Each structure stands twice: as C-alpha cells, then as structure tokens.
Structure 1
Amino acid sequence: MSYAGDVPPREAYAALAADADAVLVDVRTTAEWSYVGLPDLSSLGKQVICLEWQRFPDGAVNEHFVEQLRGAGLPDGAPIYFLCRSGVRSAAAARAATAAGLGPAYNVEHGFEGPHDHEGHRTVAGWKNDGLPWRQG
C-alpha cells in the first residue's frame, strides 16, 4: 500500500473530530455531490473539500488534482481523508497525494455509499449507511 491506510467511515469521522487539522476530501464528481449528497461536517466546524478525481461527464482523470489539492490551503502534515462512492477513486487519490508528499493520506473504506447488496442497492456500508451526518441538494 502506498498511502497511510484504509479506515472505516466512523473512524475517519472520529479522526476529523479529534484533529483540528484533519480534512475530508470528497473526490466524487459534481453530479454525485449534487444528486447523491455530501458528508456534513458542520457540527465539527469544518467543510468538506470537493475535488474531482475524475472529471464529469467524460470520466477522464483530473490531471490537475494534486495542484488543486495543494491550492486548497491544507496545513503542512495535515491528515487527509479521501472519500468517493465506494473507496476505489479515493484510494487512487490517497496514493497520488502520498506520492506528492501530502498527508498522511487515508482512504475512507466503502466510500460514501458502499458496495451493492444482493439486490444491487448500495445499502451495506459506507458513510451514509453508517449513519454519519450528510446532506442532499
């Protein structure tokens, strides 16, 4: 593994609550943020950093991702927790951040919505399914 590790959503939320410098970066697309929802860190006095790993609608990897992440004003050495829909794009983002000397960078396991259940619905795990705060629209 080329980043600090995978953490369950509740552990990521607890770390964000415990460390004033820790940040959550949601690497999903603009469409996902708009239509599916976003984690809500307002009770922690924080905002989610929204930064696409892959562009919508073409799905191309955002070649400016690391540059944009640096431009987000992260404190030096701040723990960064990356989140996507299921944990795949966020793992790639964590690897890229680590390679660029940012972080420690963590991947939030199962992402925002988690894997499919036996009926093809995303009800098994993830930020939303773990009962963590989020909002829609």
Structure 2
Amino acid sequence: MSYAGDVSPQQTWESLASDPEAVLVDVRTDAELTFVGRPDLSSLGKQHLAIPWTGYPGGERNANFLRDLEGHGVTRETRVYFLCRTGVRSVAAATEATAAGWRAAYNITDGFEGGFDDEGRRTVAGWKVAGLPWRQD
C-alpha cells in the first residue's frame, strides 16, 4: 500500500471528531456533490474540503490537485481522509498525496455511496449507508 491506509466511513468520523486538525477531502466532481450529496461535518464544527480529482464532464485529471490541497491549508503533517463515490479516486488521491510527502493520507473505503446491490442500487456500503450525516444541495 502506498498511502497511510484504508479506513471505514465510521472510523473516519471518529477520527475527525477526536482530532481537531484532521480534514476530510471530497475528491468527487462538483456535479456529484450537488446532485448526490456531501458529508455534513457541521456537528463537529468542521467543513469538508471539495477538491475534485477529475473534471466534469470530460473526466480530465485535475493537474492542480496537490496545489489545491495546499491552498486549502492542508499541510503535509495534517491527517487527511480522501472520499470519492466508491473508494477508487480516493485511493489515487491518497497515493499521490503520500508520494508528494503527506504523512497521513487515508482512503475512505466504499466512499460516499459504495457499490451496487443486487438491484443495481448503491445501498450496501459507504458514508450514506453508514448513517453518517450528509446533506444534499
């Protein structure tokens, strides 16, 4: 593994609650955040950071991802949890951050929505299924 590790949505929530410096970085597109929903960290006195890994609709890679991360004040010593839809783009983000010197870059397993159930719906895992706070714009 080329990053700090995989953590469940619940473990992420607990870490965000116990570590005032820890941050959640959502790497989904603006369209996903708007239409699917986003984590709500307001009860922890925090906001998640939205830094897309890829653009929409073209899917081009965000060449400024690390610069954007630093621009939001996320230092290389900050414990950072990356979230996407299912836990794939967040692995790429955690891997790249680690390669660039971030010491505690984590992937949130199953992402915000998780994989599909037998009926093709995203109801089996992820932030939403774990019952963690979220909101939709």
What TM bracket, shorter-length normalisation?
Answer: over 0.9
Map 1:124-135 to 2 at 5 A. Answer: 124-135=124-135
Map 1:62-101 to 2 at 5 A. Answer: 62-101=62-101
Residue 56 of structure 2 corresponds to residue 56 of structure 1: yes
Shift of 1:103: 3.8
Map 1:1-137 to 2 at 5 A. Answer: 1-137=1-137
* TM-score when normalising by structure 2: 0.98
Query: How many Å separate the matches in 1 of 2:117 and 2:37?
Result: 20
Aligned residues of 2:3 and 2:104 also touching (Cα < 8 A):
yes
Q: How many pairs align?
A: 137
Aligned residues of 1:80 and 1:103 also touching (Cα < 8 A):
no
Aligned residues of 2:79 and 2:103 also touching (Cα < 8 A):
yes
Residue identity opposite 1:55 in structure 2: G
Shift of 1:37: 0.4
Which ranges of structure 1 fall in alignment gaps of 5 or more residues? none
Query: How many Å separate the matches in 1 of 2:131 and 2:119?
Result: 21
Shift of 1:75: 4.3
* TM-score when normalising by structure 1: 0.98
Aligned residues of 1:21 and 1:75 also touching (Cα < 8 A):
no
Runs of 4+ in 1 over 4 A off after TM superposition: none
Residue identity opposite 1:124 in structure 2: V
Aligned CA RMSD, in angstroms, stands at: 0.8
Q: Percent identity at matched positions?
A: 58
Residue identity opposite 1:74 in structure 2: V
Query: How many Å separate the matches in 2 of 1:119 and 1:94?
Result: 31
Which ranges of structure 2 fall in alignment gaps of 5 or more residues? none
Q: Alignment partner of 1:69: what SS?
A: helix
